[in-house]
Chains A and B, each alone.
Chain A
């Protein structure tokens, strides 16, 4: 594997962790609101809250780590994406600010009024929809050069079918992934009523999410045929694997069995799909303006960054396992018996 390929793969790890953790968080925020709206039992809310509180900050750091890593390894991407994403990036930032602060009010200051609950729910759904637009933009065709400067044709993005299929896919995935996770968490907590509710949500969103994912291929084939071709030939095995994992996960869900394994299968399903999409996208970070080989940082810095990243993972992984052990796999915490104030 070449230097740039290794670096981008290391960064994918951050991005993928963020995708999964953020999907859980965003979806859980929405389900929290939904549970109150539909007057589901209090248990549903308690399960969601007990997971979210200790994990929230960690989720956010994955996003930061990805962004600083991208700028470090591929400085040119700071220039290109920084310039063109001013408008969508600022929208995402404002949503992120609202989501984050209202989340804090809800969980840490116990503000439980309907409006704040609604705001953190709706921004949690809007955020993935905005963040995902970077993917269609990266497919190229939406950026032009005018008088030596880069301009994003934001209107074109909004009119593109590719954009809207990604938005739909993101929305459904967020709900599906978080429901599958909470189904598992509720089963650990021994809360049957919550488990049944989450299972229902997962069943209702699973097939549409898969459909939306498969449907992405159509506008992609239209928008950038060569990417579609690589994806459908060289990486088709990954797509098939993803589908296979989904089918198994869905079957387990239907039977209500093995919630933990179900969640692992769903992570695998998304990992395979994201890898297929990402590797077939390579070497471009933004087609055709930015590719990983030309944008790569100088050798010295690359070496230092890779070492830092390696050592960082050595600290990070035990830390995360410890956190998970305390809050995911400790029966007394999950079941709410541990005293926590």
Chain B
């Protein structure tokens, strides 16, 4: 039992650690490419510099993402050998395709990073960002199909303990795939936008310089956050409809709905009292849950009590769900406010409180993304493959997983700390206004404007 528990915690920790780097690895190339695109289009070298500086930080994150991803690839085999054996028979195709998506990304990332200024036509260099984006987004989409398969297995039947009618394509395009891939990709872009908003705002706050370079960066990232935030919310709604149809017990737990109700209300916040099955300090939006799940205000939503005890997911995932939705809401509202201010040429987008909120958006986005994952993964309990294989049948027969857990946590902590220190030092030694390229841009513009430069 203890080995099962620690196998789960270790898997969750490794994935949670990896997903931080992986999410940024999916999103940052898009933003880099966007910045370079604008820079070439508007002939504005500041955007090009922005792309270059993001790329420098990006490559360090990629490296750690690659390392942690490799760790998962091995660790899933080591901790869940029975699961991987079954997965090998049914859903190994996306894993294989993912390897080629990684190749695409890895090859063109090398080319993109080391060929700035090597081509006479700037669009050639920009074009190399596209295979990087395709590679990283494809790899995220493909791994998500595996996770979707775990939630809604398809493409096979079990007859007398044997697998029959195996159809790898049906397994990939299982019912959970469309909503999940859509939501995972949009949320990865959104989370990245949040992180880069925060980074930019942080620089403006500590360096106290409101140079145009930073304003451009902030407006670009805020706009991206708004668009992807709205898309994420739409995709989340699609996911909720999927869940209502295929994993109703998970939806019940996510919404802390104990009794089956017609015209069920949507809960905001709330403290769950498991014993009495009551929710305290809640705000109820009448009939909204029924509408969001089924598109009908009076539809019946099944409550947790309608399911046998042993397949009920823990109702605590309600909190995780709330944090995720809250993060999205905060991001959309904040970016909307900022862009409104810019549009109306107000002063508040550059004010201290606005920047402080923008710094906060970084951790909020990342926490929201992590909570979303932990929510769906714990919400699958007790199944590792929904309705097919339980976790206790999948886990390794080895013992002493607790010790491994502590060992790996120690290593992850070390890596997290050292990586942060290394990145902070790297950029502190090279602030934008001392970057030779930035000074060259300024000097150049100064010459044009008759010597008026900052």
Which residues of chain A from 92 to 115 have any CB-CB distance to chain B below 8 Å in the complex? 92-94, 96-98, 100-101, 103-105, 108-111
- In the complex, the answer to whether B396 meets A83 with C-beta atoms within 8 Å is yes
Q: Name B's interface SS.
A: helix
B89's closest neighbor in chain A, by CB?
Answer: A75
A241 within 8 Å of B (CB atoms): no
B24 within 8 Å of A (CB atoms): no
The stretch of B309-317, B353-361, B380-388, B418-426 that contacts the partner chain: B418-426
- In the complex, the answer to whether A90 meets B407 with C-beta atoms within 8 Å is yes
B271 within 8 Å of A (CB atoms): no
**A90 to B415 CA separation, bound complex (whole angstroms):** 16
**A74 to B85 CA separation, bound complex (whole angstroms):** 8
Query: Which residue from A57, A65, A96, A323 sits with its C-beta under 8 Å from B99?
Result: A65
* A-B pairs with beta carbons under 8 Å apart, 28 shown: A53-B110, A54-B113, A54-B114, A56-B63, A57-B63, A57-B105, A58-B106, A61-B103, A64-B99, A68-B95, A71-B84, A72-B95, A76-B85, A79-B84, A83-B81, A89-B78, A94-B407, A96-B67, A96-B71, A101-B63, A108-B63, A111-B422, A149-B397, A150-B397, A305-B93, A308-B100, A319-B103, A319-B104
**A322 to B425 CA separation, bound complex (whole angstroms):** 34
The stretch of B162-170, B185-193, B330-338 that contacts the partner chain: B162-170
- In the complex, the answer to whether A323 meets B111 with C-beta atoms within 8 Å is yes
Known interface pairs A61-B106, A69-B99, A86-B404. Does A75 touch B118 (Cβ–Cβ under 8 Å)?
Answer: no
**A148 to B231 CA separation, bound complex (whole angstroms):** 51
Query: Which residue from A60, A79, A85, A332 sits with its C-beta under 8 Å from B85?
Result: A79
A37 within 8 Å of B (CB atoms): no
List residues of chain A with CB under 8 Å of any chain B CB: 53-58, 60-61, 63-65, 67-69, 71-72, 74-76, 78-83, 85-86, 89-90, 92-94, 96-98, 100-101, 103-105, 108-111, 149-150, 297-298, 300-301, 304-305, 308-309, 312, 315-316, 319-320, 322-323, 326-327, 332-333, 338-341
Known interface pairs A58-B110, A110-B426. Does A101 touch B67 (Cβ–Cβ under 8 Å)?
Answer: yes
**A13 to B425 CA separation, bound complex (whole angstroms):** 41
B447 within 8 Å of A (CB atoms): no
B56 within 8 Å of A (CB atoms): yes
CB distance from A329 to the nearest CB of B (A): 14
- In the complex, the answer to whether A312 meets B100 with C-beta atoms within 8 Å is yes
- What residues of A have a CB within 8 angstroms of the CB of B113 in the complex? 53-54
- What residues of B have a CB within 8 angstroms of the CB of A304 in the complex? 93, 168-169
Beyond contacts A90-B407, A94-B407: 8 other A-B pairs, Cβ-Cβ < 8 A, are: A53-B110, A82-B396, A101-B415, A109-B426, A301-B88, A305-B93, A312-B99, A338-B118
- What residues of A have a CB within 8 angstroms of the CB of B87 in the complex? 71, 75, 78
Query: Which residue from A71, A89, A103 sits with its C-beta under 8 Å from B92?
Result: A71
B96 within 8 Å of A (CB atoms): yes
B77 within 8 Å of A (CB atoms): yes
Known interface pairs A79-B81, A83-B397, A300-B167. Does A101 touch B52 (Cβ–Cβ under 8 Å)?
Answer: no
**Which of B62, B97, B109 has the largest count of A CB atoms less than 10 A from its CB?**
B97
- What residues of B have a CB within 8 angstroms of the CB of A110 in the complex? 426
A308's closest neighbor in chain B, by CB?
Answer: B96
- In the complex, the answer to whether B85 meets A78 with C-beta atoms within 8 Å is yes
- In the complex, the answer to whether B115 meets A326 with C-beta atoms within 8 Å is yes
Query: Which residue from A55, A63, A94, A100 sits with its C-beta under 8 Å from B64?
Result: A100
Count contacts between A and B, CB distance < 8 Å: 228
A338's closest neighbor in chain B, by CB?
Answer: B118
**Which of A63, A97, A111 has the largest count of B CB atoms less than 10 A from its CB?**
A97
- In the complex, the answer to whether A323 meets B114 with C-beta atoms within 8 Å is no
CB distance from A62 to the nearest CB of B (A): 9
- What residues of A have a CB within 8 angstroms of the CB of B73 in the complex? 64, 67-68
B60 within 8 Å of A (CB atoms): yes
- In the complex, the answer to whether B99 meets A78 with C-beta atoms within 8 Å is no
- In the complex, the answer to whether B110 meets A301 with C-beta atoms within 8 Å is no
- In the complex, the answer to whether A97 meets B77 with C-beta atoms within 8 Å is no
- What residues of B have a CB within 8 angstroms of the CB of A111 in the complex? 422, 425
- In the complex, the answer to whether B168 meets A109 with C-beta atoms within 8 Å is no
**A98 to B415 CA separation, bound complex (whole angstroms):** 8
- What residues of B have a CB within 8 angstroms of the CB of A94 in the complex? 407-408, 411
List residues of chain B with CB under 8 Å of any chain A CB: 52, 56, 59-60, 62-64, 66-71, 73-75, 77-82, 84-90, 92-93, 95-100, 102-111, 113-118, 163, 166-169, 396-398, 404, 407-408, 411, 415, 418-419, 422-423, 425-426, 437
B97's closest neighbor in chain A, by CB?
Answer: A308
- In the complex, the answer to whether A93 meets B89 with C-beta atoms within 8 Å is no
**A6 to B109 CA separation, bound complex (whole angstroms):** 32
- In the complex, the answer to whether B84 meets A101 with C-beta atoms within 8 Å is no
Query: Which residue from B60, B71, B78, B398 sits with its C-beta under 8 Å from A108?
Result: B60
- In the complex, the answer to whether A72 meets B84 with C-beta atoms within 8 Å is no
CB distance from B427 to the nearest CB of A (A): 9
- In the complex, the answer to whether A65 meets B103 with C-beta atoms within 8 Å is yes
Q: What 4 A-B pairs are tightest by C-beta distance, nearest first?
A: A75-B88, A104-B63, A72-B92, A54-B110
- In the complex, the answer to whether B64 meets A301 with C-beta atoms within 8 Å is no
- In the complex, the answer to whether A69 meets B96 with C-beta atoms within 8 Å is yes
**A65 to B116 CA separation, bound complex (whole angstroms):** 29
- What residues of A have a CB within 8 angstroms of the CB of B118 in the complex? 332-333, 338-340
CB distance from B83 to the nearest CB of A (A): 9
- What residues of A have a CB within 8 angstroms of the CB of B79 in the complex? 82, 86
A312's closest neighbor in chain B, by CB?
Answer: B100
- In the complex, the answer to whether B106 meets A57 with C-beta atoms within 8 Å is yes
**A180 to B417 CA separation, bound complex (whole angstroms):** 37
- In the complex, the answer to whether B67 meets A100 with C-beta atoms within 8 Å is yes
**A93 to B84 CA separation, bound complex (whole angstroms):** 18
**A340 to B114 CA separation, bound complex (whole angstroms):** 5
- In the complex, the answer to whether B411 meets A97 with C-beta atoms within 8 Å is yes
- What residues of A have a CB within 8 angstroms of the CB of B411 in the complex? 94, 97-98
- What residues of A have a CB within 8 angstroms of the CB of B100 in the complex? 65, 308, 312, 315-316
- What residues of A have a CB within 8 angstroms of the CB of B117 in the complex? 339-341
- What residues of B have a CB within 8 angstroms of the CB of A85 in the complex? 78
- What residues of B have a CB within 8 angstroms of the CB of A96 in the complex? 67, 70-71
- In the complex, the answer to whether A315 meets B81 with C-beta atoms within 8 Å is no
CB distance from A137 to the nearest CB of B (A): 14
**A177 to B74 CA separation, bound complex (whole angstroms):** 26
A57's closest neighbor in chain B, by CB?
Answer: B106
CB distance from B48 to the nearest CB of A (A): 11
- What residues of B have a CB within 8 angstroms of the CB of A341 in the complex? 52, 116-117, 437
